[in-house]
Amino acid sequence: MDIAYWIVAGLLGAFYLYAGGKKTVQSKERLAPMMGWVDTVPMGAVRAIGAVEILGAAGLVLPPLTGTAPGLAMAAAIGLAVLQVLAAGLHLSRGEARDTGLNAALIVLAGAAAWLATTW
């Protein structure tokens, strides 16, 4: 189970570190071709979402790695799943149902990480 957790957490952590990093440092003009929703959301909210994604990635990896408060890994996974549910809702509200596939995959992976985190 530990190996399975680290595979899932590593994939999620890398994805969210990359995506969150882009949201926190790139301009609206650079983000818009990849993420059409940034035009309708205030840039402060985009930056906050990026920060939450980076913190979620750290929450998946650092607590189990250091052995300090490993329950935070489960909380981080649940938080990232909630973030993706909200993101899917945003896509659906904008009529972008075809763009929710990645959200669904990330929800499943976050759920798996949360479940695997309970095995400690």
Report, as an integer, the average pLDDT of 8-37. 96
On the 0-12 / 13-18 / 19+ scale of CB atoms within 10 A, 119 is exposed
pTM, entire model: 0.92
Question: Would you state the pLDDT for residue 120?
Answer: 66
Per-chain mean pLDDT for the chain:
95
Do 90 and 37 meet the contact criterion of CB atoms below 8 Å apart? yes
Taking only the tens place, the pLDDT of each residue in 27-76 is: 999 999 999 899 999 999 999 999 999 999 999 999 999 999 989 999 99
Is 85 a residue whose pLDDT tops 70? yes
Q: Give the integer Cα–Cα distance in Å for 86 and 22.
A: 19
